[in-house]
Amino acid sequence: LASLVVMQTFPAGRKLFRQGEPADRVYLMLTGSVGVFREPCTPADLIYEVGHHSPTPWTGELGVWSHRPRSGTAIVSQPSTLATLKAEDLGTLLSLAPALARAFQRSMKE
């Protein structure tokens, strides 16, 4: 599993992805938090906030799972450490970790 993920640390204010971009990876929150916004990304445009204590501590999965462009822009809210997973490796990871696959599929239904 470790060969599929890349650990990265991001400062507050860093954009992880922009609305409309191709969905090329999933981000798993290990520390910190990320806000997902509709453009133009004002506080009123916040869709949801995800943190490492969230019931589903990842973001970016919707576009990867549905093979569609990003539906929002993700901006790091506070310094964060994330495990990133390339879209093409998602199926491999989920086949190796059935419990994670079930949690991921449950989150997609919400």
The reported pLDDT for the residue numbered 110 is: 60
Q: Is the peptide bond before 40 cis (omega within 30 degrees of 0)?
A: yes
The reported pLDDT for the residue numbered 16 is: 96
Beta-carbon count within 10 A of 10 CB? 19
Q: Which two tokens stand for residue 84?
A: 């990133």
Handedness of CA 78, 7, 103, 45 (dihedral sign): positive
pLDDT digits (tens, 9 = 90+) for 45-94: 999 899 888 877 889 988 988 899 999 999 999 999 999 999 888 878 77
With pLDDT > 70 as the criterion, what percentage of the chain qualifies? 92
Q: Which residues pair with 76 in a beta bridge?
A: 34
